[in-house]
Amino acid sequence: MNFILLILLVLIVLILYFINYLLKYENYLDCNKFYDKNSFCQLDIDTNKCICKFQKDENKYAFNALEECCNFCDKIDPEDCLSDTTFDKISYYCNIGGKCKEYKGTIIDSHISANNCGNDPLNNQILLPYTTIEECSKSINICDKYNNPLKSKHINKKECLENVNCGYCTNDSNGGKCIEGNATSPLDLQNYYYCNPNTKLEINKYEYGNHSEYLI
């Protein structure tokens, strides 16, 4: 009797496994052929989630692709996002909240766009990685520590405006960032020219803390 129950249990497990496999395979077949060839799993630095991306030909930019084309990246742990072997992986570094953090990248050319440090929250430009921790360390400025992803936007902004060397800019998508600046404007006007200290609107607004005692 126990033997029969064991056989039935094994059969049920096999049937469930087979059904799950068929469902995944069916979804994979639904992948658009346009994405099928060069789709891969990539770690989204900004959200710390594994997502499906697509790199077209020699274009070193990763476009969003259907999860079905990557066999469901969202089910993979962030640290295991890259499917390449150990021999295909390299280290790169990103300035995350004023600290250099190491990530694992790839040397595979068709997936090379996966090696990035996320997007600038103000201008949405891709933040390029650093090949060494020394290069990364040189890029850090005094205001970067107030862009800590582990803290809320409210706390980051509050602490940012308490530093006389920093200002806070909010763009038209409600993205915010602490940047180097003074009472009149950001220091980096090339990248943050739209941060306006005189606007009464809450978009593209540059704010500077009350440092009257220091400035007098």
In whole angstroms, what is the distance from residue 151 CA to residue 155 CA? 6
pTM: 0.75
What pLDDT sits at residue 35? 64
The answer, yes or no, to whether residue 25 has pLDDT greater than 70, is: no
Secondary structure (DSSP) of 81-110: ---S-GGGEEEEEEEETTEEEEEEEE--GG
Q: What is the pLDDT of residues 46-92, one digit of tens each?
A: 988 998 888 876 667 788 887 777 777 888 888 888 765 555 788 99
Average pLDDT, the chain: 82
What pLDDT sits at residue 22? 40
Q: What is the pLDDT of residues 165-209, one digit of tens each?
A: 999 999 888 889 999 999 999 999 998 998 999 888 878 899 998
In whole angstroms, what is the distance from residue 50 CA to residue 67 CA? 10
Classified as helix, coil or strand, 132 is: coil
Of the listed ranges 32-36, 95-99, 157-161, the least confidently predicted one is 32-36
More confident call, 213 vs 54: 54
Q: What is the pLDDT of residues 124-156, one digit of tens each?
A: 888 999 999 999 999 999 999 999 999 999 999
The answer, yes or no, to whether residue 19 has pLDDT greater than 50, is: no
In whole angstroms, what is the distance from residue 15 CA to residue 89 CA? 37
Q: Using an 8 Å Cβ cutoff, are 135 and 185 in contact?
A: no
What pLDDT sits at residue 78? 84
What pLDDT sits at residue 54? 85
More confident call, 108 vs 67: 108
Q: Using an 8 Å Cβ cutoff, are 55 and 25 in contact?
A: no
Pairing of strands 166-170, 99-106: unpaired
Q: Where are the domains of the chain?
A: 33-139, 144-211
What pLDDT sits at residue 36? 62
In whole angstroms, what is the distance from residue 85 CA to residue 178 CA? 38
The answer, yes or no, to whether residue 39 has pLDDT greater than 80, is: yes
* Alpha-carbon distances of 5 from 1, 10, 11, rounded to whole Å: 6, 9, 10
